Each structure stands twice: as C-alpha cells, then as structure tokens.
Amino acid sequence: VHGARFVDDLRDLTKVFTHTDHLVFDGTNPGYFEGRALRLVREGADKPRHFIYHGNGIARFKITTYVFGGFAGTGGPKVRFFTSADAQQWREVAVAQETTATKEGWARVVLTPTKDPAAPATYLKIELRGDAAVYSPQVGEVQVFTVGAPLR
C-alpha cells in the first residue's frame, strides 16, 4: 500500500474525528485477541455504532477486527465501511477478508478494500454492527493510507 500511513492502535478515541455514543473499550481476555489489551466494541445491541476518521486524501485502509462466530451477523457483515468527501453523502466500500482463528471461537479478520477508490476520500466511517452479542465485533487497530499528508 502506497502513501503516508496513519495508525490508531485504539488505546483511546483521541485519534478519531467523531463517533457515536455507546462505544467502549473491552480489556477482558487479551489472550483471545493475540495479546491486545484493549479493543473497541459496541455497548448495547439496539443499533449500529460508528466512528469516523478525517483527513485529506484517504486512499486505502487496513482494519484489524476480532469476531466471534463468523464475520456475518443476522443483519449482514459485522463491520461496514463508508467513505465521503463531505461527511453527508456516504459510499459503502467493499472489503476483502483475511481470517485467522485465534482462540475459543474467536477469529482475527483483517479487512482491506477490494479495489482502490475512484477518488481519495476526506472521511472514513467504520460501522460496528452485529446481533445480540455486543462483544462481537471488536476493533483492534486501524491503519489509513493517504495520498497526501498523514492523518493527525
């Protein structure tokens, strides 16, 4: 992947541009998550939650997630991605999955776009979905590649 790289290891939400309420960090059972001490999860299963990164020239991304019981929930994929130039009109991004079993029914799923965007975006929205199991999915790391200066 070419361009400047921005990495958010999600120890807190200081690198996130904005987010919905009810996103929390789970620090339980790091052995199930390859030693990651914290992962971002939904709090409450009533609706999807999301967080957004902002920067000039977002070209690609690589997201490390952890899921229990597979990547698809009752309403489709447990994680969805959208890009936008203005944070008003969003375009869903199709992703490829690289899945590796970790422990006790959990799997690491690394998600990357299936193709380069037609034009670099200004916003990247990561939406956490799922079903009644609010502990799945969990996001461990976000990498964003830009064609210009890296995200802050």
Encode pLDDT of 5-49 as tens digits.
899 999 999 999 999 999 999 999 999 999 999 999 998 877 889
Asked whether 125 and 17 are in contact (CB, 8 A), the reply is no
- How far apart CA 86 and CA 123 sit, in angstroms, is 7
| Secondary structure class of 148 (helix, strand, coil) | coil
Asked whether 88 and 37 are in contact (CB, 8 A), the reply is no
- What pLDDT sits at residue 74? 56
- How far apart CA 103 and CA 16 sit, in angstroms, is 29
| Secondary structure class of 83 (helix, strand, coil) | strand
Encode pLDDT of 99-116 as tens digits.
999 988 899 999 999 987
Encode pLDDT of 115-144 as tens digits.
877 677 899 999 998 777 788 899 999 999
| Secondary structure class of 13 (helix, strand, coil) | coil
Model's pTM, two decimal places? 0.91
